[in-house]
Amino acid sequence: MNKYIIRIILATISILTIDQVIAQDTLKESHHSTKLFTDGYFKFKFGTNTIFELSPALCYQITPDLSAGIGLTYQYYQNRFDGGELFKTHNMGFRLLVDYRILKNRQMLKSKLLWYAHLEQEFMNLDGQYFYNPPREGRHNTTNTLLGLKCKYPALKRLDINMLILWNIYQSGADYNLNKNPIIKFGVNYKFSLPN
């Protein structure tokens, strides 16, 4: 648990350092010029267990503080068991997400960082032989409810860099989950304008 706290502190310090280096003009240009934007995250882990996750999403800015979206999730999972047996699988699914801005006065905080409460409902299709005890044949569905904090940094006029810290607060359908709490993800938002 201590290693996760140290990683979170180091990531926060890095983001705050970058925040002080980039000019104030970035903040003025970072406001949404459109209500539609892409959102996406990636996660990876290497070692005995290898995990790679890619999660693009399409989102809509409902109010200046509230956005919602739908996205796809792809996971590659590889595990080498003690006996040397290698197991590989691909998990796929979709997710519904909602962000609500919780710290609104950036001038008072003297920071360009935007802080959001993040809620995500994830629906995944998993290989039954590894994620169930006892193992099952074929593929099966599982649902995860993720709750946490999102830190958004407006890096360019239309590009934001994100860091998410999430907890899986509810899981149904599988006995084993790739996501161990806390779940840390990094990603980007790209705001685009639609032709009139």
In a domain, 103, yes or no: yes
**Burial (0-12, 13-18, 19+ Cβ within 10 Å), 162:** buried
Give per-residue pLDDT as tens, 143-183: 889 999 999 888 888 888 999 999 998 877 666 666 678 88
Query: Residue 112's domain spans which residues?
Result: 2-191
**105 has pLDDT over 50:** yes
Number of domains in the chain: 1
Query: Residue 184, Cα to own-chain centre: how many angstroms?
Result: 7
Give per-residue pLDDT as tens, 106-146: 555 567 888 999 999 999 998 877 777 777 788 888 888 99
Average pLDDT, rounded, for the chain: 77
Q: What is the pTM of this model?
A: 0.72
Locus of tokens 């909602």: 98
- CB neighbour burial string for 16-48, b if at least 16 within 10 angstroms, e if fewer: eeebeeeeeebeeebeeeeeebbbbbebeeeee
Q: Which residues contact 128 (CB under 8 A, 6 or more apart)?
A: 135, 136, 137, 138, 139, 140
